[in-house]
Homo-oligomer: A and B are copies of this chain.
Amino acid sequence: MSIDVSIRLGTGDAAIAAEYTRVREQLPQALRAVQVLAEQGLPHFKLPSQTGDLADIAALAGGLTDGAKDLVILGIGGSSLGAKALCQLAGWGTPAQPSLKDRPHLHFVENLDGRSLAGLLSGLDPAATKVLAVSKSGSTTETLAQLLIVAAWASARGADLARHCAVIAEPGNNALRQWAQMTGCPVMDHDPALGGRYSVLSCVGLVPSAVAGLDIRAIRHGAAQALAPLLALDEGSSWAQGAALNMAAMACGRSQSVLWAYADRLEKLTLWWRQLWGESLGKQGKGSTPINALGPVDQHSQLQLYLDGPNDKLITIITTQDGDDLAVPADAAGRIGQSLLGGRTVAEIVNAQARATAEALVRAGRTVRVIHVPRLGEQAMGALMMHFILETLVTAQLLGVDPFDQ
């Protein structure tokens, strides 16, 4: 698995091109600063190569899978966006979801809404429902409110909370851990040094991934591959170049950064990235607004604006060849005057659209980057996530903001 990156600067973007060249000169210093963070032993950099915790993660996931028709995951923002992004690789949250019948149905409640929560509970069998509550601080209002309501619902229907629930929170005397002690349910530690938006490679992202049937070791492995260039201070790495391009775009008035993925399985990745980028860089009046998009569907919703509206965006398109070889039936296509579509696979059509969109944007003078992922498996997801984490950290160095605070 590799990430091929091509950075296309639209015609008329001489200003960005010049700025990009200038910023690249600052890269060695920024990379060195991130390397120092790594040397300080921050978990952000240790997690990719960590394997000692995988058995415990798999065991907790096994307990949540055993006898479960449904798994309700409570957790908001950093406690759920990464897990959703990973589970989508297994088809969760895509139209393919109805076919996922051999695993518990995952319900990421996340947003607090009484009508939704009541509706969800009315459709579940408490005897076959398990619950995972995740909050770093152990005191997140939304998650606690949801957990107390769901637990009361389950208890009233005879479920044993110790067997049906599990909790992830940092150590200490916080509300979530008190609740776990009260009910006797299993607890896993959230690393106190790991902010929610960086927690995807820890148990926060990997327990749900294991329930969804993903290879969690491969996710870590992909992340380690994307991290490797940091040790070599490689300015040519895709994420170092990406940071320089983002800096150049911001300096030239591109106030928005669009991540446009051409695969349903990457839709939640763009939402995970949206928090990572926004919360890490949006401070002291600095940063750019992260915007998620999905292709080809957003060609029919956003492309008009991106092509002909204000030229204020850096647009990153992610493509993959890894589709299904579903082909459009040639006979029927011919009979309705669509012989150009006939016999082509959906992956071919989508890739042609992604390329055409990138070309059209460049022709319109917009700044475009294309990230290509040949095969979209666990290793690629780990690599993509680490790519964006590192791109964010290097950009923070160049911007002069602290990417870890809030």
A residues contacting B by CB (< 8 A) are 70, 76-78, 81, 91, 94-101, 105, 107, 109-120, 122-124, 140-142, 144-145, 148-149, 151-152, 175-176, 178-179, 182, 196, 255-256, 263-265, 271, 274-275, 278-279, 281-291, 294-297, 299-302, 304-306, 308-313, 322-329, 332-333, 335-338, 341, 344-347, 349-350, 353, 406
Tell me whether B119 and A107 are in contact (CB under 8 A).
Answer: no
Q: A81-B301, A112-B296 are in contact. Are A117 and B285 (CB under 8 A)?
A: no
Tell me whether A301 and B274 are in contact (CB under 8 A).
Answer: yes
Q: A112-B297, A275-B301, A329-B149 are in contact. Are A255 and B96 (CB under 8 A)?
A: no
Q: Give complex CA distance A68, B98 in Å.
A: 15
Q: Give complex CA distance A310, B148 in Å.
A: 38
Task: Specify the chain B residue showing the minimal Cβ separation from A156.
Answer: B329
Q: Give complex CA distance A336, B135 in Å.
A: 14
Tell me whether A117 and B346 are in contact (CB under 8 A).
Answer: yes
Tell me whether B333 and A304 are in contact (CB under 8 A).
Answer: no
Q: Give complex CA distance A333, B145 in Å.
A: 8
Tell me whether A263 and B301 are in contact (CB under 8 A).
Answer: no
Q: Give complex CA distance A117, B325 in Å.
A: 11
Tell me whether A335 and B297 are in contact (CB under 8 A).
Answer: no
Q: Which 3 A-B pairs have the closest CB atoms?
A: A96-B119, A77-B300, A282-B305
